[in-house]
Amino acid sequence: MVTGVAGTTVEAIRQLIVGQLAPGARLPSEQQLVRQMGVSRATVRDALARLAADGTIEKRWGIGTFVAHKPRTGFGLLFLKPGIPGVLATVGGTPSVARFEYEEAPPAPNLFPAFPDAPTLSMLRVFALDGVPVIAIRDRLVREVDGRRVDPEPLRSIDSLVVDVLAEAGIEFSWLQVELSAGELDPAGRAVFGLGRPEPVIETSGVGFRPDSSRILVSRGTYRTNVVRLSLAVDGGGGGGWLAAPGHA
């Protein structure tokens, strides 16, 4: 987890890029950023790693760090845009939200220690390709921050993401940390997809953070690998992202 100082440093470097640097421009050295930001070298390196992960900058080993020429196309696991709907659209077929449901949930201080009294939302969203359910995402989300309340209804649309409803509520979202593992659909998972037999899947476990590094989202995903395959694409500049492709259904 990124410290509060590192989160602040990430945003300070973003502002530097937006205000002073064009795409392709070289960033100041780590030592220059240390002096400019008034933080440690470890903090600067951590912040640069986060910015490289979301595609804002590109590290060219032995040369330097540069502002990215264009945003990466990510899968929404490591990067926030275009997210699952956007990537499914690039696979072929017609993506849709096959199922969306949510319920009010009590505060969860064990999950969201920075918001011990805030109400939460428990959500299930199932994405389909040509009517075939392929991805299920279960989210637990802080619903209200500083009087700003999330409206989940837009998530019924294939074009809407969790980051969109947070932005609409005026709640800042900074980055998503995700772990992946291979598994097999359990009975509850088979019920979500309407399947009567076990099936191999990729499972994700993610935590979303605000700029101050406080948790605001906990997410679990299930991906049917015989319908949608995940792969990691890496370009010559060291950039990459999770992509979806048709599997072997």
pLDDT in tens, 89-126: 656 678 889 999 999 999 999 999 999 999 999 999 99
Cα dihedral 136→140→144→146 (10° resolution): -120
pTM of the model: 0.64
Report the pLDDT value the prediction gives residue 94, as an integer from 0 to 100: 82
Residue 138: pLDDT over 90: yes
Q: Report which of 77, 30, 31, 90 is spatially closest to residue 57, judged by C-alpha positions.
A: 30
Q: Where are the beta strands (DSSP E) in 111-235?
A: 120-129, 132-142, 144-145, 148-149, 175-184, 200-209, 215-224, 228-234
Token pair of 229, please?
């395959």
**Is pLDDT at 162 greater than 80 in this prediction?**
yes
* DSSP alpha helix (H) spans, the chain: 4-20, 30-37, 41-53, 83-91, 162-168, 187-193
**What is the CB neighbour count within 10 angstroms for residue 244?**
23
List, in order of start, the domains of the chain with CATH numbers. 4-67 (1.10.10.10), 83-246 (3.40.1410.10)
